[in-house]
Amino acid sequence: MIYTPFENKNAIVTGASRGIGRGIALKLAGRGARVVVADVNLEAAQETAELCGNGAIAVSLNVAKPDAVRSTVADLIAELGRIDILVNNAGINRDAMLHKMSDEQWDSVLAVDLSGVFYMCREVGTHMRTNEYGRIVNVASASWMGNIGQTNYAAAKGGVVSLTRSISKELAFKNVTANAICPGFILTEMTRAIPEKIFNDQLAKIPLGRPGEPEDVANLVAFLASDDASYLTGEVINIGGGYKL
Ligand SMILES: NC(=O)c1ccc[n+]([C@@H]2O[C@H](COP(=O)([O-])OP(=O)(O)OC[C@H]3O[C@@H](n4cnc5c(N)ncnc54)[C@H](O)[C@@H]3O)[C@@H](O)[C@H]2O)c1
């Protein structure tokens, strides 16, 4: 029997043109959702949407731009009728030690990784509040606990954790859940780009002995987005093969 918990559900996944976001989009679509692949890279987003099938659509969106988020979400609601699931996955890193971190490295990471999540939650969360149904999953990171060379990224992801806990309390009575997940070390273009020594150091910290795959993260997101997780909100869940900072 085919498992389709998301039949007749519409989902937005940001940053889904590749990596973890693509894995999440494929998983939700595979389980019946109509997925909106929202990404700055429209061409790659279209590729993800094609792979998803099931009526998936790609939209060009920079989550760090509040006006763009506002108009894109309004257009999507007009087109689809409702948004049931929001996965805030778009993120960037610009690692540097504190004494070398530029204003641009700080500002750009905070803009995408934290403000972007806020803008999306505000627009889509307000819609879900009216509908009295919604599942929000925010992709934070194990780094939110603090990590060398990641002052900007850790601060942004820590902000995502606090934001998620706050909105979970605000929206619970309207049947909207919000949870944060904290991936450890997952194989994507983001992690493939890091220097070999750091890559191997990270690998050595994983008790299960392998880096994660996007699908490992997608399995958790699919659970949190489903009605099996209807009694779970405001949680912060690690997904990293035991990896912790
Ligand atoms: N890979 C890991 O080990 C790891 C660990 C912890 C957390 N994360 C988090 O998981 C998420 C996905 O990471 P990934 O490894 O797949 O990264 P990735 O770099 O492979 O993919 C990120 C995606 O986000 C998109 N994006 C970037 N800026 C955007 C913006 N302003 N608006 C819309 N889309 C934008 C990119 O085009 C890309 O498709 C990120 O939030 C990241 O911080 C990743």
Distance linking the first and last C-alpha atoms of the chain: 40
| Local confidence pLDDT in tens for the 245 residues of the chain | 788 999 999 999 999 999 999 999 999 999 999 999 999 999 999 999 999 999 999 999 999 999 999 999 999 999 999 999 999 999 999 999 999 999 999 999 999 999 999 999 999 999 999 999 999 999 999 999 999 999 999 999 999 999 999 999 999 999 999 999 999 999 999 899 989 999 999 999 999 999 999 999 999 999 999 999 999 999 999 999 999 88
Other Cβ atoms closer than 10 A to 28:
29
C-alpha 221 – ligand 1 centre gap (Å):
15
Q: Using a 6 Å CB cutoff, which residues line ligand 1?
A: 14-15, 17-21, 39-41, 61-64, 89-92, 112, 116, 139, 141, 183, 185-186, 188-191
Nearest CA to ligand 1 atom 19: 190
> What residue's CA is closest to ligand 1, atom 36?
15
114 CA distance to ligand 1 middle (Å): 12
Positive or negative CA dihedral for 215, 219, 225, 226? Answer: positive
- Tokens representing 57 are 């659509």
Q: Are 12 and 38 in contact (CB under 8 A)?
A: yes
User: How far apart are the CA of 216 and the centre of ligand 1, in A?
Assistant: 15
Residue of minimum CA distance from atom 38 in ligand 1:
15
pLDDT of residue 245: 85
Going by alpha carbons, the residue nearest to atom 13 of ligand 1 is 20
Which are the catalytic amino acids? 153
Render the burial of 126-153: b for 16+ CB within 10 Å, e for the rest: ebbbebebbbbbbbbbbbbeeeebbbbb
Question: Partners of 237 in the beta sheet?
Answer: 181
**Taking the mean position of all CA atoms in its chain, how far away is CA 117?**
8
